[in-house]
Chain A
Amino acid sequence: GDSVTQTEGPVTVSESESLIINCTYSATSIAYPNLFWYVRYPGEGLQLLLKVITAGQKGSSRGFEATYNKETTSFHLQKASVQESDSAVYYCALGDLANSAGNKLTFGIGTRVLVRP
Protein backbone atom coordinates (compact mmCIF):
# COMPACT_ATOMS: atom_id res chain seq x y z
CA GLY A 1 0.00 0.00 0.00
CA ASP A 2 0.89 3.66 -0.01
CA SER A 3 2.95 4.95 2.88
CA VAL A 4 5.03 7.84 4.14
CA THR A 5 8.03 7.56 6.44
CA GLN A 6 9.57 10.57 8.09
CA THR A 7 12.25 11.47 10.65
CA GLU A 8 11.31 10.30 14.09
CA GLY A 9 11.13 13.12 16.59
CA PRO A 10 11.55 15.00 18.65
CA VAL A 11 14.20 16.95 16.83
CA THR A 12 15.79 19.68 18.91
CA VAL A 13 17.74 22.49 17.30
CA SER A 14 18.94 25.89 18.45
CA GLU A 15 17.69 29.11 16.94
CA SER A 16 19.50 30.07 13.71
CA GLU A 17 20.66 26.49 13.11
CA SER A 18 19.63 24.55 10.04
CA LEU A 19 16.91 21.92 10.07
CA ILE A 20 16.19 18.94 7.85
CA ILE A 21 13.30 16.52 8.25
CA ASN A 22 13.53 13.48 6.03
CA CYS A 23 10.49 12.13 4.24
CA THR A 24 10.31 9.15 1.91
CA TYR A 25 7.21 7.72 0.33
CA SER A 26 5.89 4.64 -1.36
CA ALA A 27 3.16 5.22 -3.92
CA THR A 28 2.27 1.77 -5.17
CA SER A 29 -1.36 2.54 -6.05
CA ILE A 30 -1.06 6.17 -7.06
CA ALA A 31 -0.69 7.09 -10.69
CA TYR A 32 0.28 10.72 -10.11
CA PRO A 33 1.69 11.21 -6.63
CA ASN A 34 1.95 14.66 -5.24
CA LEU A 35 3.51 15.67 -1.99
CA PHE A 36 2.73 17.96 0.90
CA TRP A 37 4.13 19.24 4.13
CA TYR A 38 1.59 20.18 6.77
CA VAL A 39 2.40 21.78 10.11
CA ARG A 40 0.63 21.94 13.44
CA TYR A 41 1.76 24.77 15.70
CA PRO A 42 1.04 24.47 19.43
CA GLY A 43 -2.64 25.01 20.11
CA GLU A 44 -3.54 25.29 16.43
CA GLY A 45 -4.99 23.09 13.72
CA LEU A 46 -3.15 21.35 10.92
CA GLN A 47 -2.24 23.75 8.13
CA LEU A 48 -0.59 23.43 4.77
CA LEU A 49 3.04 24.51 4.70
CA LEU A 50 3.88 23.68 1.09
CA LYS A 51 3.01 21.32 -1.71
CA VAL A 52 4.59 20.09 -4.94
CA ILE A 53 2.56 18.47 -7.67
CA THR A 54 5.26 17.71 -10.24
CA ALA A 55 8.32 15.53 -9.78
CA GLY A 56 11.55 17.51 -9.90
CA GLN A 57 9.96 20.71 -8.67
CA LYS A 58 10.66 22.52 -5.43
CA GLY A 59 8.14 24.06 -3.09
CA SER A 60 8.90 26.78 -0.59
CA SER A 61 7.11 28.68 2.13
CA ARG A 62 8.09 30.61 5.27
CA GLY A 63 11.78 29.87 4.59
CA PHE A 64 11.17 26.12 4.26
CA GLU A 65 11.94 24.21 1.06
CA ALA A 66 11.27 20.71 -0.19
CA THR A 67 12.09 19.09 -3.52
CA TYR A 68 10.02 16.27 -4.97
CA ASN A 69 12.58 13.62 -5.97
CA LYS A 70 10.96 10.78 -7.87
CA GLU A 71 14.20 8.78 -8.21
CA THR A 72 14.79 8.57 -4.48
CA THR A 73 11.06 8.84 -3.62
CA SER A 74 11.88 11.59 -1.19
CA PHE A 75 10.51 14.97 -0.17
CA HIS A 76 12.82 16.23 2.57
CA LEU A 77 11.95 19.48 4.33
CA GLN A 78 14.75 21.95 4.98
CA LYS A 79 15.26 25.35 6.50
CA ALA A 80 18.58 27.13 6.63
CA SER A 81 17.99 29.08 9.82
CA VAL A 82 15.16 28.21 12.19
CA GLN A 83 13.39 30.48 14.63
CA GLU A 84 11.74 29.68 17.92
CA SER A 85 8.36 30.15 16.23
CA ASP A 86 9.13 27.14 14.00
CA SER A 87 8.57 24.84 16.96
CA ALA A 88 5.76 22.60 15.76
CA VAL A 89 4.88 19.15 14.50
CA TYR A 90 5.56 18.67 10.79
CA TYR A 91 3.71 16.08 8.70
CA CYS A 92 4.71 14.81 5.30
CA ALA A 93 1.77 13.63 3.18
CA LEU A 94 1.20 11.89 -0.14
CA GLY A 95 -1.77 12.58 -2.40
CA ASP A 96 -3.18 11.36 -5.69
CA LEU A 97 -3.95 14.13 -8.12
CA ALA A 98 -5.80 11.78 -10.47
CA ASN A 99 -8.21 10.33 -7.92
CA SER A 100 -11.56 11.58 -9.07
CA ALA A 101 -13.28 10.06 -6.04
CA GLY A 102 -11.59 12.60 -3.86
CA ASN A 103 -8.05 12.67 -2.69
CA LYS A 104 -7.44 11.02 0.62
CA LEU A 105 -3.97 11.99 1.76
CA THR A 106 -1.62 9.46 3.30
CA PHE A 107 0.25 11.06 6.20
CA GLY A 108 3.46 10.30 8.02
CA ILE A 109 3.33 10.19 11.81
CA GLY A 110 4.77 13.64 12.20
CA THR A 111 8.06 15.03 13.45
CA ARG A 112 8.04 17.24 16.51
CA VAL A 113 10.57 20.05 16.22
CA LEU A 114 11.70 22.00 19.26
CA VAL A 115 13.69 25.16 18.64
CA ARG A 116 15.72 26.37 21.60
CA PRO A 117 16.15 30.13 21.97
Chain B
Amino acid sequence: NSKVIQTPRYLVKGQGQKAKMRCIPEKGHPVVFWYQQNKNNEFKFLINFQNQEVLQQIDMTEKRFSAECPSNSPCSLEIQSSEAGDSALYLCASSLTSSQNTLYFGAGTRLSVL
Protein backbone atom coordinates (compact mmCIF):
# COMPACT_ATOMS: atom_id res chain seq x y z
CA ASN B 1 0.00 0.00 0.00
CA SER B 2 1.09 3.53 -0.78
CA LYS B 3 2.59 5.59 1.99
CA VAL B 4 1.79 8.93 0.45
CA ILE B 5 -0.21 10.86 3.03
CA GLN B 6 -2.62 13.59 2.02
CA THR B 7 -4.50 15.90 4.33
CA PRO B 8 -7.23 16.82 4.75
CA ARG B 9 -9.39 14.13 3.13
CA TYR B 10 -12.22 16.61 2.63
CA LEU B 11 -12.14 20.38 2.26
CA VAL B 12 -15.11 22.70 1.89
CA LYS B 13 -14.60 26.31 0.88
CA GLY B 14 -16.63 29.24 -0.35
CA GLN B 15 -15.90 30.92 -3.63
CA GLY B 16 -13.01 33.33 -3.32
CA GLN B 17 -11.57 31.58 -0.28
CA LYS B 18 -8.13 30.03 -0.12
CA ALA B 19 -7.94 26.26 -0.13
CA LYS B 20 -4.80 24.52 1.04
CA MET B 21 -3.97 20.85 0.99
CA ARG B 22 -0.87 18.96 2.02
CA CYS B 23 1.05 15.90 0.97
CA ILE B 24 3.81 13.87 2.55
CA PRO B 25 5.49 11.84 -0.18
CA GLU B 26 6.68 8.32 0.29
CA LYS B 27 9.95 8.25 2.23
CA GLY B 28 12.94 8.68 -0.06
CA HIS B 29 10.89 9.89 -3.01
CA PRO B 30 12.19 13.28 -4.16
CA VAL B 31 9.69 13.71 -7.02
CA VAL B 32 6.15 14.86 -6.23
CA PHE B 33 3.21 15.33 -8.59
CA TRP B 34 -0.15 16.99 -8.17
CA TYR B 35 -3.13 15.97 -10.29
CA GLN B 36 -6.69 17.17 -10.34
CA GLN B 37 -9.44 14.58 -11.02
CA ASN B 38 -12.76 16.20 -11.88
CA LYS B 39 -16.29 14.86 -11.52
CA ASN B 40 -16.03 13.29 -14.98
CA ASN B 41 -13.02 11.28 -13.77
CA GLU B 42 -10.67 13.22 -16.05
CA PHE B 43 -7.16 13.69 -14.74
CA LYS B 44 -5.31 16.95 -15.18
CA PHE B 45 -1.62 17.25 -14.37
CA LEU B 46 -0.99 20.42 -12.35
CA ILE B 47 2.63 20.55 -11.27
CA ASN B 48 5.57 18.42 -10.26
CA PHE B 49 8.68 18.94 -8.17
CA GLN B 50 12.02 17.35 -7.72
CA ASN B 51 13.05 18.12 -4.17
CA GLN B 52 12.18 21.80 -3.86
CA GLU B 53 12.39 22.68 -7.55
CA VAL B 54 9.45 22.87 -9.95
CA LEU B 55 9.95 20.59 -12.95
CA GLN B 56 6.80 21.36 -14.91
CA GLN B 57 3.52 23.12 -14.33
CA ILE B 58 0.51 24.06 -16.40
CA ASP B 59 -0.64 27.59 -17.03
CA MET B 60 -3.58 27.37 -14.60
CA THR B 61 -1.25 26.38 -11.83
CA GLU B 62 1.04 29.31 -12.49
CA LYS B 63 -1.76 31.83 -12.19
CA ARG B 64 -4.15 30.72 -9.46
CA PHE B 65 -2.42 27.95 -7.63
CA SER B 66 0.66 28.03 -5.50
CA ALA B 67 2.59 24.94 -4.63
CA GLU B 68 5.77 24.13 -2.83
CA CYS B 69 7.75 21.23 -1.47
CA PRO B 70 9.98 22.69 1.26
CA SER B 71 12.76 20.68 2.73
CA ASN B 72 11.69 18.66 5.78
CA SER B 73 8.07 19.80 5.55
CA PRO B 74 5.00 18.50 3.75
CA CYS B 75 4.41 19.58 0.18
CA SER B 76 1.41 21.82 -0.29
CA LEU B 77 -0.96 22.96 -2.99
CA GLU B 78 -3.00 26.10 -2.39
CA ILE B 79 -5.69 27.66 -4.51
CA GLN B 80 -5.51 31.37 -3.93
CA SER B 81 -9.13 32.17 -4.74
CA SER B 82 -11.35 29.13 -5.08
CA GLU B 83 -13.84 28.86 -7.91
CA ALA B 84 -16.73 26.44 -8.32
CA GLY B 85 -14.84 24.72 -11.13
CA ASP B 86 -12.05 23.84 -8.73
CA SER B 87 -14.29 21.30 -7.00
CA ALA B 88 -12.45 18.05 -7.60
CA LEU B 89 -10.30 15.34 -6.09
CA TYR B 90 -6.69 16.51 -5.77
CA LEU B 91 -4.19 13.69 -5.94
CA CYS B 92 -0.61 13.80 -4.81
CA ALA B 93 1.85 11.20 -6.07
CA SER B 94 5.52 10.59 -5.55
CA SER B 95 8.21 8.68 -7.39
CA LEU B 96 11.80 7.71 -6.87
CA THR B 97 13.21 9.58 -9.85
CA SER B 98 11.86 12.00 -12.42
CA SER B 99 12.12 9.44 -15.19
CA GLN B 100 11.00 6.43 -13.20
CA ASN B 101 7.37 6.63 -13.88
CA THR B 102 5.82 4.44 -11.28
CA LEU B 103 3.83 6.97 -9.35
CA TYR B 104 2.59 6.16 -5.87
CA PHE B 105 -0.60 8.01 -5.06
CA GLY B 106 -2.18 9.26 -1.90
CA ALA B 107 -5.89 8.88 -1.22
CA GLY B 108 -6.53 12.46 -2.29
CA THR B 109 -8.17 15.60 -0.93
CA ARG B 110 -11.71 16.15 -2.11
CA LEU B 111 -12.39 19.86 -2.44
CA SER B 112 -15.90 21.22 -2.64
CA VAL B 113 -16.28 24.89 -3.48
CA LEU B 114 -19.74 26.13 -2.61
Could you tell me if A98 and B99 are in contact, using CB atoms closer than 8 angstroms? yes
Could you tell me if B33 and A104 are in contact, using CB atoms closer than 8 angstroms? yes
Verify if A48 is at the interface (C-beta below 8 Å from B).
yes
Q: How many A-B residue pairs have CB under 8 A?
A: 68
CB proximity to A under 8 Å, residues B24-50: 31, 33, 40-43, 45, 48, 50
Query: Which residues of chain B are near A98, meaning CB under 8 Å?
Result: 99
Give the distance to chain A from B76, nearest Cβ to Cβ, in Å.
18
Known contacts A45-B107, A104-B45, A110-B41; is A97 also within 8 Å of B102 by CB? no
Query: Which residues of chain A are near B98, meaning CB under 8 Å?
Result: 99-103
Among A104, A106, A110, chain B packs the most CB atoms within 10 A around the CB of A104
Verify if B104 is at the interface (C-beta below 8 Å from A).
yes
Could you tell me if B99 and A97 are in contact, using CB atoms closer than 8 angstroms? yes
Query: Which residues of chain B are near A107, meaning CB under 8 Å?
Result: 42-43
